[in-house]
Amino acid sequence: MDIKGFSATLQTEFIGHRIESHTQVASTNDIAIARGKVGAPEGTVVIAEHQTAGRGRYGRRWEAPPRKCLLVSVVLRHRLLQDQVPIPNLIGAIAIASAIRTTHGLDARIKPPNDVRIKKKKVAGLLTELAYDTEQQSFFVLGFGVNVNITLADLPPDLREIATSLKIASAHAENQDTEICRGSLLQVIFAELEDTYLQLKAGETDLIMKQFEELREDESSDECLSVGSSLPI
């Protein structure tokens, strides 16, 4: 991704105005937490083309081919109340699902607590981690991964029924040489995330929950597929 070009056209007040970009890291969340502990400002972003030790819920690994996904962590400094701890995952999922719907017209839905899916197949995952800085002020890091340009050939056969990507799910899947612009998608995600995050800061959790319910996946026909540890994002 062209980070300089990306930053120049951002439509946000603070999210993404400071970006640390890497070719390969163990985990973007680990780096973002380290930066947050020494005072990185709110909205600081760590982004990588590849992760070697990305993780999801219950310590599951996030595995994805290099340069085909969005692997992002954002430092946010709102002090969460005890009953707000689950909300960062929700605002992230709302942002990703809304951005996919806006940019590609796909029916992205949220499967609680931390997945975004298209037609019951996982396209994105989120992980929020809480920490304290050197002043003992709490903050949290919202990490997320989105499968963007992964093709069917990139997916092991055992994952093709439970995972997808924007390329696979969209019309572009018919032409495997067509690349989806990750930067354009990330700009929309950041704009959606900032809007919803400001609702959290303003205590407007009822509005967040309303958006969540509108995007929540209908579980009545869900076959409760088991997500293994090697699922990309």
Check which CATH number belongs to the domain holding 169 and give it.
Answer: 3.30.930.10
How many domains does the chain divide into?
A: 1
Q: What angle do CA 48, 116, 23 make, to 5 degrees?
A: 5
Tokens found for residue 28 = 């973007």
Which residues form the domain of 189? 13-216
Q: What is the pLDDT of residues 96-117, one digit of tens each?
A: 999 999 999 999 999 998 999 9
User: And the tokens for 107?
Assistant: 């029916």
Structure tokens at 9: 């056209």
**Within a domain: residue 166?**
yes
In a domain? residue 81: yes
Flag whether 171 is in a domain.
Answer: yes
- Tell me what the mean pLDDT of segment 169-193 comes to: 84
Q: What is the mean pLDDT of residues 89-95?
A: 98
**pTM summary value:** 0.90
In a domain, residue 6? The reply is: no
As a whole-number percent, the residues of the chain with pLDDT over 90 amount to 77
Q: What is the DSSP string of 22-63?
A: ES-BS-HHHHHHHHHHTTPPTT-EEEES-BSSEE-GGGPEE-
- 98 residue type, one letter: S
Q: Is residue 1 part of a domain?
A: no
- Tell me: pLDDT of 36 over 80: yes
Q: How far apart are CA 27 and CA 88, in angstroms?
A: 19
* Cα 18 to Cα 2: distance, rounded to the nearest angstrom: 14
Report the distance separating Cα 158 and Cα 222, nearest Å: 18
Cα–Cα distance for residue pair 152/145, rounded to 1 Å = 18
What pLDDT does 231 receive?
40
